[in-house]
Amino acid sequence: MNIVIEIIYAATIIVEFIIGSVANGFIALVNIIAWVKRRKVSSVDQILTALAVSRIDLLWSTLIITLISSLYPDLEMTVGIVRLNNNTWVVANHFSIWLATCLSIFYFLKIANFSNCIFLYLKWRFKKVFSGTLLVSLLFLFVNILVINRHIDTWSDESKGNLSCSPRSKDYTQFHRLILLINTMFTFIPFTVSLVAFLLLIFSLWRHLKNIRYSTKGSRDPSTVAHINALQMVVAFLLFYTVFFLSLATQVSTFEFREKHNLIFATLISSFTLVHSVVLVLKNSKLRQALLFVLWWLRCRLIEVQ
């Protein structure tokens, strides 16, 4: 890869890492301060705080793994580093994806309007739905880690007798393609759940607009606004989730040399976490007000300095 392109990607990753860490740290800090003051925290704030922490973990994991693979390719080939890199990234990515999926489920259950008895049961027992979703996701995480470590052990045994094993070797390429395929399969599960929640939200909005077609409230009644705001947040998540998922699938199908894709993949992950977190801040009234207060405070400090 051309050195100029590598520098551009590296600079982009660093900028996204800094902004993403600040944005997610801001979300977590605002919700923690609110929890300390009020001694209670809502379900959505719990999800947002956990999601922000997981996103910071994902950003740090991606940055460190990218640095290791780019600067020390020989070190990356050791079994211990391969195991550490894969397990660390899988855990960080798992909680980031599944907590965002829980957020999509939350918006669907709280905003959508269906008379179905199953929907109403889930709607009024969201905490149990949230806990159950996380428990099921932990089962998927356990299986994911188990399968990956099983393949790492198999690759390790085979590579011991292969003196030519390197990041460019055919054996390592096939091994890494297999790991990517496994991660893609497990990523597809929460993606499908979020997509279903999104489609049902659209259907709920369509029914609502159909019912108020002749109403004087028009399209700006509270229910419609809530539907649209929720859809905007879910769309932002799904859009970058789709890019992220397709990047995994593309690497599986077109993989040649891993170092050629490291910076691109890291850029996509960082942009995914960054943009979705910014959308969450702008669409959440409490976070948006806190952001405006911080910007106002910084503006006052700058005026005093001048």
> With pLDDT > 70 as the criterion, what percentage of the chain qualifies?
78
pLDDT of the residue at 163: 44
pLDDT of the residue at 234: 73
Which of 3-12, 73-82, 129-138, 277-286 has maximum average pLDDT? 129-138
Per-residue pLDDT at 130 exceeds 70:
yes
Q: What is the pLDDT of residues 237-246, one digit of tens each?
A: 777 677 766 6
What's the rounded Cα separation, in Å, for the pair 160 and 162?
6
Q: 24 to each of 28, 62, 193, 235, how far by Cα in Å?
A: 6, 15, 23, 19
- Which letter, b or e, does each residue of 258-291 get, where b requires 16 or more Cβ atoms within 10 Å of its Cβ? beebbbbbbbbbbbbbbbbbbbbbeebeebeebb
Across 29-33, 212-216, 228-232, 258-262, least confident range: 258-262
What does the mean pLDDT of the chain come to?
Answer: 78
Q: What is the pLDDT of residues 246-300, one digit of tens each?
A: 666 666 555 554 555 566 667 777 777 777 788 888 878 888 888 888 888 888 8
pLDDT of the residue at 142: 94
Q: What is the pLDDT of residues 225-237, one digit of tens each?
A: 666 767 777 777 7
Per-residue pLDDT at 59 exceeds 80:
yes
Nearest C-alpha neighbor of 97 from the set 194, 4, 208, 210 = 194
Kindly write down the DSSP assignment for every residue of 128-170, as one continuous string: HHHHHHHHHHHHHHHHHHHHHHHHHHHHHHHHTT-TT--TTSH
Query: CB under 8 Å to 112, separation ≥6 — which residues?
Result: 119, 200, 201, 204, 227
Nearest C-alpha neighbor of 101 from the set 244, 26, 198, 209 = 198
What's the rounded Cα separation, in Å, for the pair 131 and 129?
6
Q: 111 to each of 103, 119, 226, 227, how far by Cα in Å?
A: 12, 12, 7, 6
Angle between the N-to-C axes of helices 43-71 and 259-283, in degrees from 0 to 180, rounded to the nearest 10? 160
Which domains does the chain carry? 3-284 (1.20.1070.10)
Average confidence (pLDDT) over 153-176: 63
pLDDT of the residue at 171: 63
pLDDT of the residue at 50: 92
**Higher-scoring residue by pLDDT: 217, 27:** 27
pLDDT of the residue at 26: 92
Across 75-79, 180-184, 230-234, 254-258, least confident range: 254-258
- Residue 70 — very low, low, confident or very high, per pLDDT cuts 50/70/90? confident
Q: What is the DSSP letter of 39?
A: S
Cα angle vertex 61, ends 264, 248, to 5°? 40
Contact 56, 106 (CB under 8 A): no
